[in-house]
Structure 1
Amino acid sequence: MNLITIPITADLLRGALDLERTGRGLLPHRLPAWARAQCADGQLLMAESQPSGVRLAFRTRATAVELDTLPTKRVYAGAPPRPDGVYDLLIDGRLAAQASATGGDNLTIDMTTWTSEHRPGPVATLRFTDLPGGLKDVEIWLPHNETTELIALRADASVEPAPARNRRVWLHHGSSISHGSDAASPTTTWPALAAALGGVELVNLGLGGSALLDPFTARVMRDTPADLISLKIGINLVNADLMRLRAFGPAVHGFLDTIRDGHPGTPLLVVSPILCPIHEDTPGPGALDLTALSARRLGFRATGDPAEVASGKLTLRVIRDELARIVAQRAAEDPNLHYLDGRDLYGEADFTELPLPDRLHPDAAAHRRIGERFARLAFTTTGPFRNGDV
């Protein structure tokens, strides 16, 4: 089989805000270099380099495609092995094949001390064969939960960038749940599912552990072209125990002000946290459940004192109340600002049926439910993202 080597260029990628040339290949980033330079937090840098929502998109007659990648596999000491990241190949918008990359670098993380060790590994090759003949649009969605350097792309026919689709661009920011934690594959994270159902192009700034109202994230959103914008705020602020109510309200206002500097009339949806019983009434910080870890299960717990809510500590109930108040206050002068209670996406009945396996993150079935509900609540004729708003 004769394969042509295809240069991997920016016009073949969607969903990334920056591309870094490394000594081995091309590393997609979801935050630009100037933003990364403003925060040296290892969790943020790991999260933004994991290409949730990033995909290669090209038009070709090829029936065989190969992709060389260098993934970074996370290994949590004492915890069960994590499954390999999944690559979803779509043809004309429909899932046609899946693959995982073996090899790659290993990042071993000790969650009791939050130290890590990085070990280099070999490049992996993914092969997609027996693709249908004829001209088609191909997308390869990169793993949402594995840092992925792109080394080489090959095909048995020429490749050109997929033509721009006449679709609105949806820019979303949130926590690990929006990032896709515990989803089955990159096209089944709840934002990817909602985007497909809503017929929009996704730019996903879901950043695991890092939806912390950082000013640089607001400026990135301000400067990123978008027709629709949403923010899912709350859970990371509680489990990081990062701020008190006095700081939270002004920080939300400032975040929204910055976005509005670049998108003054864009539909903007503020989404409060989904149900998470451990943090509904108990503040953070969140911590690893060592009892679960000793049984080789991953679990989390809340360690704060509910009595401290009176002095300004944040819980999910406090955050929902404050977000609803802020949006109602601002919406009087900003008719394109909207609020969605996260419990309308995943609430008490959902927790009974589809409990959070680690008490923090939804599983694959819950991701699907959240994505379908978001699409129904946001993109249909009565939703804030209905066609005609732009």
Structure 2
Amino acid sequence: MSTEHDRTPTPISTPITADLLRGALELEHTAHGVLPHRLPARARAQCADGQLAMVESQPSGVRLALRTAATAVELDVLATKRVFVGVPPRPDGVYDLLVDGRLAGRASVTGGNTLTIDMATGTAEHRPGPAGTVRFSGLPEGVKDVEIWLPYNETTELVALRTDAPVEPAPDRGRKVWLHHGSSISHGTDAASPTTIWPARAASLGGVELVNLGLGGSALLDPFTARTLRDTPADLISVKIGINLVNIDLMRRRAFGPAVHGFLDTVREGHPATPLLVVSPIHCPVHEDTPGPSVPDFEAMKAGTLRFKAAGDPAEAASGKLTLNVVREELSRIVAQRAADDPNLHYLDGRDLYGEADFAELPLPDALHPDAAAHLRIGERFAGVAFAAGGPLAR
């Protein structure tokens, strides 16, 4: 199926409105078009962190969902792409085309804005660039459901949608809505494409509709995130907690337990009986018993490789610093305590999704994030544990 290089005319232009999108909580109108957000404006207004602003505007799990007889679809976009100083440029973000639920094409868009990040100085420079076009043609004749999954790792303003036949919102397939929150691993870092990040893979296998609030570097038990989960309609909910709290050395054990309780209390205000799964961190050797913060490995960067290491001291765990093992111990205890009065609350040890044996076979390339193959494995295991008959999120 041809992509952006095939220039067959697509004469019908359709405004991009919220009813054509799934996985976004809000659309912001910009000078260029519309920008999908995964946190609402009220939440964004409560935190000025640049990392959070960047990742919530990266449309992980967001997709155009159309019913159409079109055989060609063209989407103009203005992407913002990240470049890290001292590290080879990352590939352009990927757009996945699904026709009637099956992968039918994959493409990227050149150009766009550039955000150059210098991890040595903690600075970032934004340079504007041109919009680009992603095009899929040769789609099957006849009416069908078409989804275009947006890149999980590029802020993406949607400028224009053109087709060679009218479009309308894809119908509701009657699937349960799965609302998930987690860190950069849930966000999709280092997955091959937007439909192969582990939550998307799990959702596909589980037959559920994904709303992904995986927020790279920003799963920090923020009250505004808890309120967003509370206020978002969902049939099934999961929260993956821990690695980011260790990454930035945000809190101590004394604060962690009450913060988890408060986060879950808020979610339960809006979803008092919804199946809710708490997932602890996957296996990550650098932080199993060593506190954060995580810092760039500048020696590796001199060789052109992006890697991280733990800057804490294992002895500091005794004074309350968080490690992954401490986090797992606390989460298991908290869920067991609450489950006595909340039978729809469940716990999953993240090492059941990716453990020591998996690390030996599929090591974390930058010491923190799974590679593309590991994303698929995690998604398949999550679906097998959570969505299968008798699982905590069984439909």
Shared fold, TM over 0.5: yes
The one-letter code sitting in structure 2 at the alignment partner of 1:226 is A
Residue 340 of structure 1 is matched in structure 2 by 348
* Structure 1 CA distance for aligned equivalents of residues 121 and 223 of structure 2: 28
Residue 28 of structure 1 is matched in structure 2 by 36
CA contact (8 A) 2:184 2:215 kept: yes
* Structure 1 CA distance for aligned equivalents of residues 63 and 245 of structure 2: 29
Q: How many residues align?
A: 387
Question: Per-residue CA shift, 1:189-208, capped at 9, x if unaligned?
Answer: 00000000000000000000
Aligned counterpart in structure 2 of residue 323 of structure 1, from 327, 331, 338: 331
- Partner of 1:118, secondary structure, is strand
Q: Structure 1 pair 2/20, CA: closer, same or farther in 2 (3 Å)?
A: closer
Residue 3 of structure 2 is matched in structure 1 by none
* Structure 1 CA distance for aligned equivalents of residues 23 and 184 of structure 2: 17
The one-letter code sitting in structure 1 at the alignment partner of 2:134 is L
Q: Does 1:139 align with 2:165?
A: no
Identity, % of aligned pairs? Answer: 78
Residue 291 of structure 1 is matched in structure 2 by 299
* Structure 1 CA distance for aligned equivalents of residues 10 and 217 of structure 2: 44
* Structure 2 CA distance for aligned equivalents of residues 153 and 246 of structure 1: 51
Residue 252 of structure 1 is matched in structure 2 by 260
Q: CA RMSD in A?
A: 0.5
Shift in Å, 1:2: 4.7
Aligned counterpart in structure 2 of residue 60 of structure 1, from 50, 68, 87: 68
* Structure 1 CA distance for aligned equivalents of residues 345 and 75 of structure 2: 42
Aligned counterpart in structure 1 of residue 282 of structure 2, from 274, 279, 287: 274
Question: Per-residue CA shift, 1:109-141, capped at 9, x if unaligned?
Answer: 101112111011011011111111110000000
Q: Structure 1 pair 301/2, CA: closer, same or farther in 2 (3 Å)?
A: closer
* Structure 1 CA distance for aligned equivalents of residues 171 and 347 of structure 2: 34
- Partner of 1:370, secondary structure, is helix
Alignment of 1:175-324 (within 5 A): 175-324=183-332
The one-letter code sitting in structure 1 at the alignment partner of 2:303 is A
Residue 40 of structure 1 is matched in structure 2 by 48
Residue 6 of structure 2 is matched in structure 1 by none
CA contact (8 A) 2:10 2:162 kept: no
Aligned counterpart in structure 2 of residue 105 of structure 1, from 113, 126, 131: 113
Residue 99 of structure 2 is matched in structure 1 by 91
- Partner of 2:336, secondary structure, is helix
* Structure 1 CA distance for aligned equivalents of residues 213 and 134 of structure 2: 26
Q: Which runs of 5+ in 1 are unaligned?
A: none
TM-score scaled by structure 2? Answer: 0.97
Q: Which runs of 5+ in 2 are unaligned?
A: 1-8
TM-score scaled by structure 1? Answer: 0.99
* Structure 2 CA distance for aligned equivalents of residues 385 and 125 of structure 1: 38
Residue 127 of structure 2 is matched in structure 1 by 119
* Structure 1 CA distance for aligned equivalents of residues 99 and 147 of structure 2: 7
The one-letter code sitting in structure 2 at the alignment partner of 1:67 is L
